[in-house]
Amino acid sequence: MGRNPWLAVSALLGAVGVILGALGSHLFEVLRPDQYDLANRYHLVHAVLLAALSLTLKPEDGMLRRGVMAGFAVGLVLFCGALYLSSLGLAGSRLAPTGGSILILSWIGLAVSALLPPSR
């Protein structure tokens, strides 16, 4: 396997997700455990999705597919980050709707990219 920056990003996001899950269970004083668990679940699911997409990415895949992957990464950070911080009482969750919207648009973009012919 050659260089795959997206796989590296997804692997790091996955590692951070596991670390934050462990810290939330054993170290952090979590004020809203349901919110923290939701953030962690979405975090890990989208890290795995990014890994899968990175392993199927082909040179002929266009900018839409790469944009979708970037959207998943940004949406994950904004949505999950806002929920993590809010559940710890460190900040509000004002960025969660933006991050969630980016995740939804990325899922729609993935569906569209799956239906389009490969770029030349």
In a domain, 84, yes or no: yes
Q: Looking at the 3D structure of the chain, how many domains does it have?
A: 1
Reported as a single tens digit per residue, the pLDDT across 95-116 is 999 999 999 999 999 999 889 8
In a domain, 77, yes or no: yes
Quickly state the pLDDT bin for 60 (edges 50, 70, 90): confident
The three-state DSSP-derived secondary structure of 12-63 is: HHHHHHHHHHHHHHHCCCCCCHHHHHHHHHHHHHHHHHHHHHHHHCCCCCCH
d(CA 24, CA 39): 11
Q: What is the pTM of this model?
A: 0.91
Give the DSSP letter string of 88-107: TTSS--TTHHHHHHHHHHHH
| Residue that wins the pLDDT comparison between 101 and 61 | 101
In a domain, 120, yes or no: no
pLDDT at 32 (0 to 100): 96
Q: Write out the residue range of the structural domain in which residue 37 sits.
A: 5-115
